[in-house]
Structures are given as C-alpha cells and as structure tokens.
Amino acid sequence: MKNIFDIHAKKIFWLSMLIAQVLGFLLFKDLADVSQWVVQSPRETTLWVWYNRWAIALGALVTIAIAGYLKYRRRDIVGNKAFITLGLFFCFTFYSGMINPHIMMRARMDDGVFVSIEAAKKYVKPYESVIVLEINGQARAHSDKQLLRPHVAGNGELGGEHVVMTYCGLTNLGVAYTPEINGQALDLAPMSQLENNLIMFDKNSGEPIQQLWGQTESDYHAGSAARMREWPTFRMPFEKFAEAFPDGEVYVNDYLVEDMRPTFWDNPFLAIYDPVMELIFKLAVAHQATNEEPTFPTLDHIDTRLPSKTLVHGLNIGNDYVAYTEEFVKAQAQPINTTIGGKAVVINYDKALKSLGVFYNTTGQHITKIDFYGQTQHGKLPRVETVKAGAFWVIWANFFPETEINRV
C-alpha cells in the first residue's frame, strides 16, 4: 500500500503543480499588460480570462495548495530547490496578473489631488503639454507625466458636473467622461491595455470599458449606443493654460511627486515600488513616442497614410470620423469651415495660446476669425466634445480605420 500511495502522491503533486503553473501563467499572460511585450493574446482570450479571473485564480490557489501539502507530507516527493523555484515562479505570475495591476495603476477617480497654478509650477514645466478640461468657466489642466500611472483622475464635480479624466500613455490621450451609463454610476479603475489603448473596468459590474469607445465591452459588441458622456478636451502648454485660465486647477499625482508620496518609513514597500514602476512606465511611453512600431505589437490595422506616431486631433460626429494634424491646421490662412457628420464645424489653431480648437458652428455663418475661447464675429461657438487631442495616428487609425485626414 505504501508504494501505491507513493506513486499516486507523486502523480497528484505533479498534476497539481502543472495545473497551478498553467493557470498562473494564463493570468500573467492576459492580465499583466507588460507580458504583451513578449506574448500576445487575441482580444477575445484576454477578455475571457478577465471575466473568469476569480475562478482561474481560485483553481490556481487550490492546486498550488495541494502540491504544497503533498510536499509537506512527503519531503522527498521533489527536491527543495525545484519546489522553491516552481513556487517562486507561481508567485510571480499570480501576483503579476491578479495583484500588481491594481497597485501599479492606483486610480484617483474621486480622490485626485488638484492644486493651484502657482503650486503646480513645482511639478509641471512651463512648456509641458497639458490636457485641459473646462466646464462652465472652471478649468483643469492634466500633464501626461502626472496622469501616467493613475490613468483615471478626478475628485467629484467640476463646473457642476461629475467628470473624470481618463488617460492612456500608449495612445498619448486624455479623454474626459462622466462616469455613468444609462443612469448607472460607474467606479472606474485601470484594467490593462488592449491594442495600445487603455482598457478600464467598472468595479461595480466588472465590465471592461475601452477608453476610445467609452462603452462597456458588452454594449459595444451588442451595437448599443449606451456610453459615457464625453466632455471637450484640448491641449496647450502649461504656461499658456496659466495665461488663459489664471484661476484654474492642476492635477498632481500624490504617489509620484516627492513631497506627497509615502516615505520609506511611512510605507517601505511603496517607497521602493513606485519609483521602479515609474521608470518602467516612462521607458514604455518613451519607446512608443520614438519608434515607428507600436510598443505592443497587437494592432490589427496599420494605416500608412501618416507616419505612425504623428499626433492627430481625431474626432467623430455620428459615424463620420476625421483626423487633423496640427501642422495642417497651422498652415491655413483662415479657420477651416467644414462639415462633419452633417454638422458645420470650425477648426482653428490659436497661435497666441498654442492650442488647436474644434468648434460646432451654430451661427449658420462662414467663420473667418475665431479666438481661443470660441468667440467669433457672430457669437461664441461650443467646442466639439468628441475631439481626441494629440493621439498617436497608428492607434487612432487602428480603432477608426474609416477616418478621413485633414478635411477642408
């Protein structure tokens, strides 16, 4: 009987260990986005793993526990070095897939830190591009560097509206949304990246939400029109933001800047962990900005009409998609008057404040002069809310291949 038990114990150990390692690696491969530098999964596989992550994690923990118990009962079932090596590999893959993303990308949806322009001068350089959100006369600036890690930043209402800024460093894109779909409040947090664009999830429902879509995965594939409300955003240098909105606020990442983040004595783990993660993120974003190929080779469609890392202002009205380059708009003698999705639109580059603006032309008149704020000889124009300011062309075109370039 002892020999029979020995044989079965060894088989059960190795079967359990194999299952645990496979499940751990599955979590790592599909939920730890850095893994996509090496191995790529189809979108459907990644989402299947996400929807079933708790069952997969439970299976991984149960089987590794069985293997550990058998090793405890029978010390000679496998060598100590081999067991420790396998155990450490499992811990790495399980942690990377199930735990690390939520520590690495700690969202600030309702508790973001916003400071005055004067205070922000410590953290944001004058020439640094900032993503601006202005609602009912109240304005906020968000630098790419400060948004890079949390991916979602807000602190309640702005101008009487509940709004959050979402950000993807791989796309070089900030999009402002009201975190609500069909009257249901969302609790947004970063999940991963798919096709070099941020994918978030709603903590309440667990539903993934692609940043560029503003919809849940299930609504998008069902053809539903349900999506978060988008707010107009635009880019300009920080010093120009200070000039245009002297009473504006500026977002600061409290776990990035030295005088806000935890010290070693406050939290030894985060004091070491955060600078390392910051370096990894900066390297990935720098690679994305300076190389023709996307950092993660997961794009289905490559459009060569523009160099891949050209920064474009993409927008849509209905199903009509257009992208403008800043250089093209700058070169025009007058504002561009055009039609997008059946609506009259005006595109203009303000040379004084160095910002490209896209406005609905609600006047019924041809616009020959417009200022940064949308003021014209025929009245003030509202900004178009779907503008994605300064996104990399290769990623915009991957999601919206029907895009027309520089329509006049």
Q: Give 319-345 pLDDT, tens digit per residue.
A: 999 999 999 999 999 999 999 999 999
Radius of gyration in angstroms for the set of CA atoms belonging to the chain, rounded to a whole number: 25
Q: Is the pLDDT of residue 399 over 90?
A: yes
If pLDDT is split at 50, 70 and 90, which confidence band does 1 have?
Answer: very low
For residue 390, give every residue at least 6 positions away whose Cβ sits within 8 Å of its Cβ, in sequence order, or none.
Answer: 129, 131, 172, 173, 235, 311, 312, 313
Query: Could you count the other beta carbons within 10 Å of the beta carbon of residue 250?
Result: 26
Residues in the chain: 408
Which of 322, 319, 321, 351 lies closest to 335, judged by CA? Answer: 351
pLDDT of res. 4: 53
pLDDT of res. 39: 72
From residue 116, alpha-carbon distances to 88, 231, 266, 291, 295 in Å are: 46, 22, 26, 35, 35
**Backbone φ/ψ region at 294: left (φ over 0), alpha (ψ -120 to 50), beta:** beta
Q: Give 15-64 pLDDT, tens digit per residue.
A: 999 999 999 999 999 998 766 667 778 889 999 999 999 999 999 999 99
Q: Give 148-196 pLDDT, tens digit per residue.
A: 989 999 999 999 999 999 999 999 999 999 999 999 999 999 999 999 9
If pLDDT is split at 50, 70 and 90, which confidence band does 75 have?
Answer: confident
**Beta-bridge partners for 162:** 157
What gap in Å lies between CA 116 and CA 60, rounded to an integer? 48
Q: Give 236-263 pLDDT, tens digit per residue.
A: 999 999 999 999 999 999 888 878 888 8
Helix (H) or strand (E) holding 60: helix 53-73
343-350 sheet: strands from edge to edge: 336-340, 343-350, 355-360
Q: What would the mean pLDDT of 352-381 be, rounded to a whole number? A: 97
From residue 324, alpha-carbon distances to 110, 121, 154, 331, 387 in Å are: 33, 31, 28, 12, 10
Q: What would the mean pLDDT of 267-280 be, rounded to a whole number? A: 89
**Beta-bridge partners for 167:** 174
Q: Which two tokens stand for residue 314?
A: 């993409």
From residue 59, alpha-carbon distances to 28, 46, 84, 91, 367 in Å are: 15, 18, 20, 14, 63
* Global pTM value: 0.92
* 163, 251 contact by CB (below 8 A): no
